[in-house]
Structure 1
């Protein structure tokens, strides 16, 4: 695949990067990624990955746009209230880059459909807002041998990591970091604890950078590390994550053999 004249203009700032160039841009145009959630994290992910020319972007979300979403979910507009988030996101992406193909999945990800939904994607970016979905996405990516870039945020903080445990070696999975979901009363949801809207933009943009790095094979992968951002102190910490030999998913004595065991 060779770039058109319009594509040379659109992606000119990528093309002059030695690390990307024409070959890298063609790789992005041929890439297929799945974004889980079209909310606070999914919004900057969709905006920047579409602008970057990622050729096919699947987005899975079963929710509709509510007024309280608009403070941070910048891909949606006031006119999109009560519309399906996947449809609203698809329209906005079409305005930014009509070359990008959006594949809407208006449904909730479950153990029954996860492997089918993930099929055919090169990478998954998880922007979900609950531990049950994060564990499910992690497990499905492990079984599908698909890289996962995961992020989470709350109040003034956020975190990002990449998981490629299917490669073996020193690559941990999400369960190596969180062996099991913490009690629900210890981890309040966004609607309970609140969030500074711009935190979603900051963390989602970092997540988009890691997605592009993985697709292009650039720099150092976050696999094996957790990047933690504290917005109030404007500090970053990069924490080493070791593979857990007792992990029920990727450890040598793994007990989870299929998605029915996700927790």
Structure 2
């Protein structure tokens, strides 16, 4: 008889509570630092706290990788309960976290770490896919292999309202930030080959830019997987969210549109007024 399978994702998966509960996905909170104060994402610090801290101190919170021992405690608990574990983490092109997960899993033959090659709800999309495979009766090893293959078919694109937080975090220059502000430009950041990069710059207000980005992505000739699309955002506003959903419905027959709030790890780099779409393609 095959063992039960636990699907686990780092807290950077940015899935709403309904999806986590519906698909039985566990999350592991990652470290976030408010100055010298060490916190855990989604447990004792939440996204609004980041910007309250920045407003108060003028300093951005920072993220850090967990230790192998931190992961080992979770692995010990779940394998001790008789589970095989599939553990998804943020792209190894962006962080050392997948390497740490692999190190932690060396003494746990029933734990299968998976580098999602993605971020935010891009990883979350794969966690849901993994849970669906679990419910079809696949083993953890089979799920891990299929998720690694499916990661090539996940598309993640974000529009950012301001480059201030990228600048504060050292991810763009002051000249780039000033130029974007003067020209009312909003960059589109996409995940490609596990890396994030600016692929296009849009001009206009957030609602207009989001709709342009959605149109560009959903009509680029790729065959869409109609199962679901996710919108991940922080403080985009109800009007922008409604416009995004309307545009998606006009362009593609997705069976489900899921709305997720971005957690600390993404929001600290992108800032308020960030909105992304995440979906899968076929073929």
TM-score (norm 2): 0.34
Higher CA-based Rg: 2
Higher relative contact order (Cα pairs below 8 Å, separated by 6+ residues): 2
TM-score (norm 1): 0.36
